[in-house]
Amino acid sequence: MNLSSINATIRAAFGLAVIAGCSAGCYLLQSAQGQLALMSKREPISRVIDRASTPPSLRAQLEQVAAIRDYASRSLGLPDNGSYRSYADVGRRYVVWNVVAAPEFSVSAKDWCYPVVGCVAYRGYFVEDRARRYAAGLRARGFDVAVGGVAAYSTLGHFNDPVLNTMMGWNDVELAAIIFHELTHQLLYVANDSSFNEALATTVEEEGVSRWLQSQGRAADLANHLTQQAHYIKVVELLSATREELRTLYAAPLAPQPMRDRKRAAFASLRSSYALLKAGWGGRAPFDAWFDEDLNNAHLASIATYFNCVPGFERELAALGGDLTAFYARARELAGLDQEKRDAIVCGAP
């Protein structure tokens, strides 16, 4: 899982919330309006490439996207549809701003519930000011809150999702990773099982990026990608460990002020540990933007279990000799099981 796809679960759920309709009031009305506005900006990538006024740098990136998209269906067996075959410039650096909130003494995110999509652990806004105003109201009620810009999200194939200008700051490896990841969600998505969905998409993403780079003879880029992934996992492990430490703290019979003091100390320790990791990596690491902010429960609550089930899927793929068609069939078979059985096979110890 690359840094650009950390909120894949949130992006996917947000896309479903957008199409759920407006019966939940003004929030879903603005979501539907934002989604329709985005869809209206789509143009076929081939048309943008052919246009004389297209900047050379954008043309080059879209040519890469077109080749990546073809590779996804031709060589990885991912859905051959209209997603990521169009381009939309939304005129801002993020397409959506997500608001995540958690109580002062909890690392579980507050849920919001909508028709069709059900309950999700965030609210997404197409307008940054609306997101920040809503976040301010939550803070006034005592919640820990995080607001984060999202460069891409998926509607799970309900719309033909475009490539966005917000993604054009990424390199071609990051673009390949997000396209492979999101198309896997379109291939198979199990309701109410984020760990399964994200582990499956992450496994296909990583296998796809590896095959794609190898097919181009880019061994150095593959080695660099694997190093960055290892760094990413280390930081996620650090964040997850702090989350579990705080979960234990919040369950303790402490008065509010001593609990606040220990909470503050836990976050200070997290910052120190992160600084040590960064120093060993030349001063660069994932999640820098988070550590530039006032870290709180909401940041930790938005870390989903992306990796616990990945080794299980990797074992399944290896057992099938790397045959992706057979692997997808096996994933569908697993998806048909009840969650307890599915977890025991994929998420349990080998």
What is the tens place of the pLDDT at every residue in 215-266?
999 999 999 999 988 998 899 889 989 999 999 999 999 999 999 999 999 9
Q: Which of 107, 344, 89 is nearest to 246 (CA)?
A: 107
Report d(CA 205, CA 305) in Å as an integer.
Answer: 16
321 Cβ contact partners less than 8 Å away, ≥ 6 residues apart: none
> Closest Cα to residue 193, out of 337, 73, 61?
337
- Tens of pLDDT, residues 14-24: 444 343 333 35
Residue 293 lies in a domain: no
Q: What domain range includes position 49? A: 3-222
**333 located within any domain:** no
Radius of gyration of the chain (CA): 20
Q: Strands 43-44, 86-88: parallel, antiparallel or unpaired by DSSP?
A: antiparallel
* Counts for the chain of helices (H) and strands (E), in that order: 14, 8
**pLDDT-derived band at 349, boundaries 50, 70, 90:** low
Q: Please state the pTM of the whole predicted model.
A: 0.82
Residue 90 in any domain: the answer is: yes
State the Cα–Cα distance between residues 219 and 39, nearest whole angstrom: 37
* pLDDT band for position 317 (cuts 50, 70, 90): very high
Total structural domains within the chain: 1
Answer whether residue 172 is part of any domain.
Answer: yes
Q: Is the pLDDT of residue 4 over 60?
A: no
> Does 215 reside within a domain?
yes
> Quick one: pLDDT at residue 310?
86
Instruction: Give, to the nearest 10 degrees, the angle between helix 324-335 and helix 339-346.
Output: 140
pLDDT at residue 32 above 90?
no
- Please answer whether residues 104 and 22 qualify as being in contact, where contact means their C-beta atoms are separated by less than 8 angstroms: no
In a domain, residue 339? The reply is no
